[in-house]
């Protein structure tokens, strides 16, 4: 995670100033900031999206690399379908799930 810097924000105009001693060469420049809580929320959403992508990729890999035994294609298909349903249900409920 990024290092956090504590600063002061004006409740009127919104100006942000950090507690640093001036060494005489300071120059104000426009910079963009986000609140730490917004940053944390974005990181949590990113982590959740990555877990979802990993789960779906694992399911697709299994589908791509599974070769049913002769005469057993329907049983294999049903098993993959059940796994897909469990994965989708876990994703919809935002639950932790096994990738295997």
For the segment 25-82, what is each residue's pLDDT rounded down to a tens digit? 777 777 788 888 999 999 999 999 999 999 999 999 999 999 988 999 999 999 999 9
Q: What is the pLDDT of residue 96?
A: 62
Compute the average pLDDT of residues 11-37. Answer: 80
- For residue 100, name the pLDDT band (cuts at 50, 70, 90): very low
Q: What is the pLDDT of residue 29?
A: 77
Evaluate if pTM is beyond 0.95. Answer: no
- The total of other beta-carbon atoms located within 10 Å of residue 76's CB is 14
What phi and psi values does residue 76 have, to the nearest 5 degrees? -65, -45
Which tokens belong to 67? Answer: 């070769």
């Amino acid at each position: 995670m990024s290092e956090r810097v504590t600063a002061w924000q004006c409740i009127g105009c919104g100006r942000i100033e950090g507690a640093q001693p001036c060494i005489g060469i300071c120059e104000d420049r426009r910079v963009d900031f986000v609140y730490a809580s917004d940053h944390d929320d974005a990181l949590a959403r990113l982590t959740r999206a990555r877990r979802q992508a990993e789960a779906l990729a694992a399911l697709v890999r299994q589908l791509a690399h599974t070769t049913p035994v002769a005469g057993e294609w329907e049983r294999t298909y049903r098993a993959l379908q059940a796994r897909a349903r469990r994965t989708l249900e876990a994703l919809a409920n935002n639950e932790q799930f096994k990738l295997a």
